[in-house]
């Protein structure tokens, strides 16, 4: 192979390597891009960090429609807690306010910081599921072996399309004690 070709090869090789490195960066660029696409509703996503308390407004109650709201509770990996909903499901009319109590218990001898992350199925309903009060809005601190009844007050916005007859709301408790200690 003569020198001229060899130089050309090295040049092209370098260019392609730079392309590869740029694509590594592109992989990371997909992260903010994903957030933007979610914002634009190109991708549906529950935004746990975007769920905020909504002031209680009076909606016209649509008594002709029934929506079955199901509650699922789970614990992430090794979170040492007991966590359950006091009702497994609830039949609601759009526009009607309800309060559901959740029960949580710290099973350890230590103070624990935990956060419940909600998830909706179908994801699209999350925008119409308005919470006035929820234990999931912030991290919860549990004293050793503390038992808590935590209320969640919500309304299904009547603007939700009549196609949706069941909403499944799942809460997962994550043990954030370690991270909480690090941040303070």
Partner 1 sequence: MSAVTAEHGHDDHAHGPEKGWLRWIITTNHKDIGTLYLLFALAMFFVGGSMAMIIRAELFEPGMQFVDPKFFNSMTTMHALVMVFGAVMPAFVGLANWMIPMMIGAPDMALPRMNNMSFWMLVAGILLIASTLFMEGGAPAGGWTLYPPLVLQTGKALPFAIFAVHLLGVSSIMGAINIVATILNMRAPAMTLMKMPLFVWTWLITGFLLIAIMPVFAGSVTMLLTDKFFHTSFFDAAGGGDPVLYQHIFWFFGHPEVYVMILPTFGVASTIIPVFARKPLFGYSSMVYATASIAFLSFIVWAHHMFTVGLPISGELYFMYATMLIAIPTGVKVFNWTATMWKGAMTFETPMLFSISFVVLFTLGGFTGLMMSVAPVDFQYHDTYFIVAHFHYTLVPASVFILMAAGYYWMPKWTGHMYNEKIGQLHFWLSAISVNVLFFPQHFLGLAGMPRRIPDYAIQFADWNMVSSIGGFIFGASQLLFLWIVIDTIKGGTGEKVSDEVWEDAHKHGLEWTLPSPVPYHTFTTPPSVIPCDHG
Q: List residues binding partner 1 (CB under 8 A).
A: 1-3, 5-6, 8-10, 12-13, 16-17, 19-28, 30-31, 34, 41-45, 48-49, 76-77, 115, 117, 119, 121-124, 172, 174, 176, 179, 182
Residues forming beta bridges with residue 150, ordered by sequence position: 102
For residues 180 and 128, the answer to whether their CB atoms sit within 8 Å is no
Q: How far is CA 108 from CA 46, 103, 116, 136, 159, in A?
A: 30, 16, 18, 21, 44
Q: Select 42 or 109, whichever has its Cβ closest to partner 1.
A: 42
Q: How far is the CB of 60 from partner 1 (least distance, A)?
A: 27
Q: How far is the CB of 96 from partner 1 (least distance, A)?
A: 26
Q: Select 17 or 82, whichever has its Cβ closest to partner 1.
A: 17
Token pair of 133, please?
């009060």
For residues 65 and 93, the answer to whether their CB atoms sit within 8 Å is yes
Q: How far is the CB of 114 from partner 1 (least distance, A)?
A: 9
Q: Select 87 or 123, whichever has its Cβ closest to partner 1.
A: 123
Q: Select 21 or 87, whichever has its Cβ closest to partner 1.
A: 21
Q: How far is the CB of 22 from partner 1 (least distance, A)?
A: 8
Among 69, 157, 148, 156, smallest CA distance to 116 is for 148
């Amino acid at each position: 192979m003569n020198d001229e070709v060899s130089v050309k090869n090295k040049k092209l090789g370098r260019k392609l390597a730079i392309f590869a490195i740029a694509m590594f960066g592109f992989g990371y660029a997909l992260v903010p891009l994903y957030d933007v696409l979610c914002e634009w509703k190109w991708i549906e996503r529950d935004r746990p960090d975007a769920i905020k308390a909504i002031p209680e407004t009076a909606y016209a109650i649509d008594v002709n429609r029934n929506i079955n709201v199901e509650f699922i509770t789970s614990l992430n990996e090794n979170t040492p807690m007991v966590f359950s909903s006091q009702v497994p499901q609830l039949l609601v009319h759009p526009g009607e306010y309800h309060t559901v109590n959740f029960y949580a218990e710290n099973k350890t001898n230590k103070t624990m910081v935990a956060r419940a992350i909600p998830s909706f199925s179908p994801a699209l309903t999350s925008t119409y599921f308005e919470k006035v009060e929820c234990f999931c809005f912030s991290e919860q601190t549990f004293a050793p072996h503390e038992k808590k009844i935590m209320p969640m007050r919500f309304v299904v916005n009547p603007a939700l399309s009549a196609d949706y007859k069941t909403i499944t709301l799942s809460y997962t408790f994550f043990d954030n004690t370690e991270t909480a200690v690090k941040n303070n």
